[in-house]
Amino acid sequence: MHLGIVIPTFNERENVQTITARIADALRGRDLTYEIWFIDDSRDDTPQVLEALSAAHPEVHYVHRKDARGLATAVVEGFARTSAEYLVVMDADLQHPPELLPVIAERLAEGIDIVIPSRFVPGGSDGGLNTFRKLVSWTARTMGRVAIRRLRHISDCTGGYFGLRRSVLAGADLSPIGWKILMEILVKGRYQTVHEVPYQFVDRDAGESKMSLREQWNYVRHIVRLVWSSPEDRRFYLFCFVGGLGMVVNLAVMSLMMYVFHLREVPSSVIASLVAMAHNFLWNDNMTWKGHAHPVKWRRALQIPMFMLISGVSLAITALFVKGFVWLHWSPLAGQLIGIIVATLWSYTANNRWTWKA
Ligand code: GDD
Ligand code: MN
């Protein structure tokens, strides 16, 4: 097995030598060869240190990017430089223990596509972060896992330590902004199996963290972009958007019926709901599930009644929640809100399966 280890560096002059030695120690006597690629954007004399290091160690290579910055793009550059079949990405500051490399290599050799050292499985810890960073990190991770389906089962999707086989990247158009290259790969890559192994994220060996407010903002932008580039996630948000629009239409039509056409409340409400349903169907058919119309004619004809049936069940679900909340002496409005959320999840799943067959 030949391992390509990619290490992004920004002003890490005190660390590059130590990590090279620790990697050598960790992999000594193992049945594998390796190369290290430092992708460096430093503004200090790290490139000179790397030059000396690569002259002394044939397995060490480096690229210095003069005007570029960015952890994630540095990693992509590293993937392009090495031709190794198996890849590992890690930080230079020894917060990612090189002693885990043999475990990662072993799992990859067994055929696991992506191996992620995780701070959040039993045996792992994020001790190297202060309380504030832990909170920020938790928030970021939760946002990612709620917004993007493919991240939902990964406990540590925001870390910078992972291994993968190159085939995962085949056909993936990686265009990350900011730091989270692993998330980019998890969303766009082609893979079957992901394994997480515990590790302890310890304090930095030397130098300081380059995490900044700007990178946190980049992270939010990155999530939005990933949602947009992943059809299954995008569809869900479009569906919610159409639902919200439908609510506005519903209320507008109801007002029209009552105040302009002087209809009674109940018929106004029924007409408003029917118009909103038709409105939602049209948008979903032409936008949310564009290109997913049933090819068989009679099934196509059933799409509208199917959509209405599912909407009817949603209505019942919401009403049931209100009833339950009232029974428990809780706020009926809270019941309505929870009901709407559950009904949205239900109707999305049901429409996805039966109305449009995505
Ligand atoms: N080439 C390049 N360009 N490298 C960079 C840049 C850049 O603009 N910014 C940071 N790096 C390098 C650092 O030199 C270091 O090797 C690595 O990226 C991580 O940067 P740190 O400054 O040490 O980040 P951290 O410790 O606060 O956070 C890291 O660990 C967390 C836990 O795994 C990052 O990897 C986070 O993404 C991760 O969540
Ligand atoms: Mn660090």
Q: What is the pLDDT of residues 70-123, one digit of tens each?
A: 999 999 999 999 999 999 999 999 999 999 999 999 999 999 999 999 999 999
Dihedral (CA of 23, 28, 31, 37) sign: positive
Residue of the nearest CA to atom 9 in ligand 1? 71
Centroid of ligand 1 to alpha carbon of 90 (angstroms): 9
Q: Which ligand is nearest to the CA of 130?
A: 1
Centroid of ligand 2 to alpha carbon of 195 (angstroms): 23
Give the pLDDT confidence of 299-334 residue by residue, as tens digits.
Answer: 889 999 999 999 999 999 999 999 999 999 999 999
Q: Tokens 């000179």 identify what position?
A: 48
Q: Which ligand is nearest to the CA of 10?
A: 1
The atom of ligand 1 lying closest to the CA of 10 is 14
**Quick check: 192 and 114 in contact, CB under 8 A?**
no
**Ligand 1 probe mutation, 20, 210, 212, most atoms within 8 A of CB:** 210
For the segment 24-49, the average pLDDT, to the nearest whole number, is 96
Q: Report the largest interatomic distance among the alpha carbons of the chain, rounded to a whole angstrom.
A: 89
Give the pLDDT confidence of 163-183 residue by residue, as tens digits.
Answer: 999 999 998 999 999 999 999
Q: Look up the pTM and report it.
A: 0.86
- Give the ipTM of the model, two decimals please: 0.97
Specify the pLDDT at position 205: 83
Residue of the nearest CA to atom 19 in ligand 1? 91
Residue 255, number of CB atoms within 10 A of its CB? 12
Q: Is the CB of 93 under 6 A from ligand 1?
A: yes
Centroid of ligand 1 to alpha carbon of 221 (angstroms): 18
Give the pLDDT confidence of 268-301 residue by residue, as tens digits.
Answer: 998 999 999 999 999 999 999 998 888 888 888 9
Centroid of ligand 2 to alpha carbon of 18 (angstroms): 14
Task: Please state at what angle helix 231-255 crosses helix 332-350, rounded to 10 degrees.
Answer: 130
The atom of ligand 1 lying closest to the CA of 95 is 26
Q: Which ligand is nearest to the CA of 129?
A: 1
Residue of the nearest CA to atom 12 in ligand 1? 9
Contacts with 175 (C-beta within 8 Å, 6 or more apart), sequence order: 184
Specify the pLDDT at position 293: 85
**Ligand 1 probe mutation, 65, 211, 215, 222, most atoms within 8 A of CB:** 211
**Ligand 1 probe mutation, 63, 65, 71, 204, most atoms within 8 A of CB:** 71
| Banded pLDDT at 358 (limits 50, 70, 90) | low
Give the pLDDT confidence of 223-239 residue by residue, as tens digits.
Answer: 999 999 888 899 999 99
**Quick check: 103 and 197 in contact, CB under 8 A?**
yes
Q: What is the rounded distance in angstroms from the CA atom of residue 87 to the CA atom of residue 98?
A: 14
Specify the pLDDT at position 223: 95
In DSSP terms, which residues pair with 4 in a beta bridge? 35, 87
Q: Is the CB of 161 under 6 A from ligand 1?
A: yes
Q: Is the CB of 92 under 6 A from ligand 1?
A: yes
Give the pLDDT confidence of 209-267 residue by residue, as tens digits.
Answer: 999 999 999 999 999 999 998 888 999 999 999 999 999 999 999 999 999 999 999 89
Q: What is the rounded distance in angstroms from the CA atom of residue 6 to the CA atom of residue 90?
A: 7
